[in-house]
Amino acid sequence: VTAPFAPTAPPAPAPFAPPASPAQPAPFAPPSPYAPFDPFAPSAGTPAHFGETTVLGGHSAGATTVLDQGIPMVVTPHLIRIKNNERITLSKPLFRVGKEKSFADYFIGDNPAISRNHAEFSQRDGEYYVTDMNSTNHTYLNGVMVQSSVDVRLAHGDSIKFANEEFMFKLS
């Protein structure tokens, strides 16, 4: 004979456990490989690094790529005409300056002292040169007359005068 079915009392509740005290740090959990990655969140004590800027394309004839700490930088040779602050990009491997409009790459028509084919700029082995083309009123580099038909190496910031017309050579 079996005993009649009798309901049982519910189980006793678990004893109360107080939360961890502030003196006890929470256990360390390594970051999950599945956690979202935030590239802009700096690590503790490490400044955020956003990488380097890379300029792609935009190379023009006569431009030189200068390597500085492994970062390519395009250098473009140009002249600044002091009289009006005009920027003249030396955009070809052989760049002619003069007052012959059909021949010169940069035409100076407002100065009668300039010869038809006054001077040429050229590039060799990453260096830039100016050559006086037997002009009537000469070419001057930093105040010194350039001998005709002789390539003279240029440096950033050099002063160049075609007759009485002053320019500055720049690399940027």
Among 141, 119, 113, CA closest to 131: 119
Among 103, 104, 109, CA closest to 90: 104
The model's pLDDT over 22-50, given as tens digits with 9 standing for 90+, comes to: 555 556 556 555 656 555 555 555 555 55
Q: Write down the pLDDT at residue 38.
A: 58
pTM: 0.59
The model's pLDDT over 75-110, given as tens digits with 9 standing for 90+, comes to: 899 999 999 999 999 999 999 999 999 999 999 999
